[in-house]
């Protein structure tokens, strides 16, 4: 909201201006960052470990290669991930099951970082449709993709949409698209993927996924510091679901992927 006000005020008085400025920032001690995404069904499970670095410094990410990373399904023996490269640990063709609790455990330099998350019930997208949209809220003309699905009225639901555009996964800062059912519980929902508009001929492979409340909360708080959503007066690190102040997340997704090609 505030953005629109400022925009209009700016237009009214022709006065706002942006510029890059120099600010001295401290260098914090490096902190472990975890990126772990477990998809339902049979897929490779990967975990990426890295360290934080100076804010302005242009350098390669510092990867963590010497950690012991284990995945524990409730009631089963731990499975240790193999180190691949560039901070990535992997289990090939892992079978992840619905309604099971999963714990990710990382041992590094004598510190243990863990996170436990439940595989939520699967969300099914009934269909995808497109509609032409003459530029709205400052965006360019193009097609919006609408998702149609039925929200489960009995439980709180949290969703995330991931998509590939013409075969390329889209993972920029504006692509973290999440939804909850706070005000739409139990509805038959039609909602646009309003972060993007597409052009004729585009092929979109859209994965609409459900996730648990803690992972959702992570992306919600992540969005507020990377320029999506309401900017906060007091920015803080996203609410990680790991112990011992590790940054990042362990997210478990359950859903499916549908393809739509934009036609006139």
The site for another protein, by CB under 8 A, has a size of: 75
> Counting contacts by CB under 8 A, is residue 108 touching another protein?
no
Evaluate whether 81 touches 47 at the Cβ level (below 8 Å): yes
CB of 66 to another protein, least distance (A): 18
* CB closer to another protein, 6 vs 79: 6
Asked if 112 is part of the footprint of another protein (rule: CB under 8 A), the reply reads no
62's tokens: 């510092």
Tell me which of 239, 243, 256, 258 binds another protein, using CB under 8 A: 239
- Tokens of residue 21, six digits: 């400025």
Cα(135)–Cα(192) distance, rounded to whole angstroms? 14
CB under 8 A: which stretch of 89-97, 101-109, 197-205, 235-243 binds another protein?
A: 235-243
* Minimum distance, C-beta of residue 71 to another protein, in the bound complex (Å): 20
Distance CA 203, CA 263 (A): 10
| Contacting range for another protein; rule: CB under 8 A; set: 68-76, 107-115, 120-128, 169-177 | 169-177
Closer to another protein by CB, 248 or 255: give it: 248
- In whole angstroms, what is the distance from residue 144 CA to residue 198 CA? 6
Of positions 129, 226, 259, 261, contacts another protein by CB under 8 A: 226
Whether the CA torsion 209, 212, 218, 221 is positive or negative: it is positive
209 phi-psi bin (left φ>0, alpha ψ -120 to 50, beta other): beta
Q: Is 61 in the site for another protein (CB under 8 A)?
A: yes
């Amino acid at each position: 909201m505030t953005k629109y006000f400022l925009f209009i005020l700016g237009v009214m008085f022709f006065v706002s201006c942006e510029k890059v400025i120099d600010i001295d920032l401290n260098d914090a001690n490096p902190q472990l960052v975890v990126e772990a995404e477990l998809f339902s069904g049979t897929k490779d499970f990967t975990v990426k470990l890295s360290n934080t670095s100076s804010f302005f410094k242009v350098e390669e990410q510092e990867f963590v290669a010497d950690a012991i990373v284990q995945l524990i399904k409730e009631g089963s023996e731990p499975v240790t991930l193999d180190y691949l490269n560039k901070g990535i640990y992997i289990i090939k063709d892992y079978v992840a099951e619905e309604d099971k609790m999963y714990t990710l455990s990382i041992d590094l330099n004598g510190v243990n970082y863990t996170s436990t998350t439940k595989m939520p019930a699967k969300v099914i997208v009934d269909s995808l449709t497109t509609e032409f949209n003459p530029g709205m809220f400052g965006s360019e003309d193009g097609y919006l993709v609408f998702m149609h699905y039925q929200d489960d009225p009995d439980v709180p639901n949290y969703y995330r949409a991931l998509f590939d555009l013409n075969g390329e996964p889209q993972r920029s800062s504006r692509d973290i698209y999440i939804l909850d059912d706070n005000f739409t519980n139990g509805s038959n929902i039609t909602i646009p993927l309003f972060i993007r508009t597409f052009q004729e001929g585009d092929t979109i492979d859209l994965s609409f996924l459900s996730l648990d409340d803690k992972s959702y909360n992570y992306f919600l708080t992540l969005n507020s510091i990377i320029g999506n959503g309401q900017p906060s007066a007091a920015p803080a690190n996203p609410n990680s679901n790991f112990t011992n102040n590790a940054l990042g997340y362990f997210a478990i997704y359950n859903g499916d992927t549908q393809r739509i090609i934009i036609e006139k």
